[in-house]
Amino acid sequence: MIEIIPAIDIIEGKCVRLTKGDYDTKKVYDDDPVEVAKQFEANGIRRLHVVDLDGAKSQHVVNYRVIERIADHTSLVIDFGGGIKTDEDLDIAFASGASLVTIGSIAVKNPALFDAWVERFSPQKVILGADVKNGLISISGWKEEASEKLMPFLKKHTEKGIENVLCTDISKDGMLEGPAIELYRDIMAEFPDMYLIASGGVSCIEDIQALNAAGIPAVVFGKAFYEGKITMEDLASFL
């Protein structure tokens, strides 16, 4: 059964969503991410993907206090990403209550540092962020396109022990037009032991059902829930 992971994206301490990572498309859904997290937990959710969008833009962790508050007021497993660029950022993330961290840009720009973090904290605590556009990895809050192609990028890191990968098709993100199921199928065919977390484009419960049928281990979604296109009742059979 596919693991259901709602996303909370944070700008200035508020729960927001963007479209295709464009900060100009910001829409605020709730002033208090902690209340949103508590609602998820009350309905059977066990894990949360939290993105510090201010951090991604600023190149350092910014909204760690929100992580602290979510950790203090829920028992959710928190996967945190956005702005983790230094040892200090990583220490702040874990100290604030994150159980796992998602790291993308550093894996591209400073793979030696990324490898050191994986060795220090274990592959179970570090998720490789693979944000992809036109088959290439995007970094720095999707503002910069790297020259690395997706599949070789994944191969390089899985050979070093990475087990968990969060893959976002940027062209799908926030569009509510359906996820890139063929892309995820291709990844699973190439890396059958990977714990792949699909992200981007989920628009309805049928999309999650299709990902489940395709054998994708987990899915992150946000906008479809906040826009009322997916309800907690819809998700009940997966929880």
Provide the CA 224 distance to its chain's centre, in angstroms: 15
Global pTM reads 0.94
Question: Which of the 8 DSSP states describes residue 76?
Answer: P
pLDDT band at 135 (very low <50, low <70, confident <90, very high): confident
What single letter denotes the amino acid at residue 19?
T
Instruction: Determine the pLDDT at residue 10.
Output: 97
Q: Residue 92: CB partners within 8 Å, gap ≥ 6?
A: 61, 64
pLDDT of residue 141 exceeding 60, the answer is: no
Q: Catalytic amino acids? A: 9, 131
* Per-residue tokens: 70: 């979510």
The closest alpha carbon to 143, from 57, 61, 18, belongs to: 57
Set out the domains of the chain in order of their start, with CATH numbers: 3-238 (3.20.20.70)
* Per-residue tokens: 230: 């997916």
The closest alpha carbon to 9, from 39, 29, 24, belongs to: 29
The string of pLDDT tens digits covering residues 118-129 is 999 999 999 999
Is 198 within 8 Å of 178 (Cβ atoms)? no
Overall average pLDDT of the 181-207 stretch:
96
